[in-house]
Amino acid sequence: MILVTGGAGYIGSHAVQRLLRDGQSVVVLDNLHRGHASAIELLKHEVAKGKPSPTLALVEGEIGDYDLVLDVLKEYGVREAMHFAALAYVGESVTRPLVYYRNNTASALSLLEACDAAAVERIVFSSTCATYGEPSADQIPIPESCVQRPINPYGWSKLHTERMLLDYSAQRRNAGRPVGLAILRYFNVAGSDRVGVLGEHHHPETHLVPVVLQSLLGTRGNFGGPAGEEGRALTVFGTDYPTPDGTCIRDYVHVEDLVDAHLAVLRALRPGEDRIYNLGIGRGYSVREIIASCERVTGLRVNVKEGPRRPGDPPALYADPTKIHREIGWRASITDLDEIVRSAWEWFRKHPAGYQTGL
């Protein structure tokens, strides 16, 4: 049995889906603050179709509740954990830093203490490229050895958790009770599962691909954005960056590739190992390229407005995924931008109110 914290969220639910398809039984722990019980219900419906089928359980609660987590680990006989649960809005972390340190770092400490008490053997941690801050141009594409200098509380909350996990792993090795640990630093995640069961439902939505698609559909108001005509316009923040078209460049990895990497790493982990990998496709797409792809896929035109740069937006950030390919053999397979966008478009078109649509 595998514990998936935050398994009702965007990435976590896709990871649960993949684990189930591989015949793995899963227990999800999620406080449903920004996750969706509907996503788990859809996955339970998928599971019911299979014979024989793995087990899927949802426990609503906090990862910072030591007694609850320990009870779950013991009741379900958990030996492996994937930790996705976190708050992940950079802007919000600046205005509410203590909330981020409480939720992302302090709660992870309680989770780790429970995992230690229950003798969990392998832990895969969902981290972020935000721990790198603003790397210099000569550090792009970004390797795992890049200096980590976060520029916001979100990045710091994840980096503190990374340090805590590494210290814990070292202590376990020294005590003769080694644990397998993986830290996976994401870049930009996009798309939906291509079967069409799961999608991306954030409230408010801040990710570029869904914001563009929702503006074309006129549904941004359903996801915490502006409604009406205002919601049909898209503001590009900064058009004078030192990039080929003047807009920021980012690495977009499809969510299915991302969860494939998690499973590949989990299978490869051995007791006493610490593995740290960047997850991305190894190249970047600009804001204008994302908009152009959305227009090709949908056949619609985006109402673009130009705005000033936002503080803290580097011109280009994309991963060097060489290490994970060399050591484990994982490489993103869905690298065509239109295919990534199309999977998201199909889900948003059928679910204009996200998981509230038709449920």
Q: Catalytic residue positions?
A: 154
Torsion of CA 22, 28, 34, 35, to 10 degrees: 50
Contacts of 35 (CB under 8 A, 6+ apart): 6, 7, 8, 9, 12, 13
Torsion of CA 263, 44, 62, 158, to 10 degrees: 30
Angle (CA) 66-67-71 rounded to 5° is 115
Cis peptide bond N-terminal to 352, omega within 30: no
Q: Specify the residue for token string 């991306």.
A: 200
Residue 126, beta-bridge partner list: 184
- Which CA distances in Å does 219 have to 21, 216, 301, 344, 351? 31, 8, 15, 14, 10
Contacts of 176 (CB under 8 A, 6+ apart): none
Q: Specify the residue for token string 């969706």.
A: 36
Distance of CA 253 to the CA centre of its chain: 10
**Residue 259 and residue 330 in contact, taking contact as beta carbons nearer than 8 Å:** no
For residue 275, give the nearest of 328, 319, 320 by alpha carbon: 328
